[in-house]
Amino acid sequence: SSTTSTTAPPATCTTTRPSLPTTTTTTAPPPLAIGNPAAARLLLADKEWELDLIEGPSMRFVEGRYLLVYSAADWSRETYPQAYAWCLTPTGPCSKPTDGRSIRSDDVIAGPGGGELFDTPDGELLLAHHAYTRGNVGYPNSRYLFIAPLEIDDGTVRVPE
């Protein structure tokens, strides 16, 4: 008896970067169903301080709308911030304030990002995020987990002092 072996051709992947509009507010596509391969573009990296990169999103329903937190810029630098935008629905439209950086480097932490929103049992809104310690930024230094309370005042999101 003989057996025939077939080998699948190697997979190829082509990545293209489309040109993006320069607006901070997007128009929402029709609602998405679970499993729908369509994706909603919620934000563009259009702020100078974002350095053409936004990543690590987390969304939570807060005060009648959706709070979207994200990281921006170069993760290996002190200038990497945790930022936010407000969205009307999970698929947009979303808008960013002029300077939506809610957590920045300070005397203790540097390059905060990768945030996840959550509530305590008594309803306090918190953000778990990672950051370097001041003076120990970039590879091969480690980032550590921090928990920060968030304050929302008239749509502005910040860590209380």
Which phi and psi (to 5°) does residue 106 adopt?
-140, -155
pLDDT digits 0-9 by tens, 108-128? 999 999 999 999 999 999 999
* Amino acid in position 146: F
Contact between 108 and 133 (Cβ < 8 Å): yes
Cα→Cα distances 128→29, 84, 116, 149, Å:
30, 14, 5, 9
pLDDT digits 0-9 by tens, 10-50? 444 333 444 444 433 444 444 444 455 567 789 999 999 99
pTM assigned to the model: 0.75
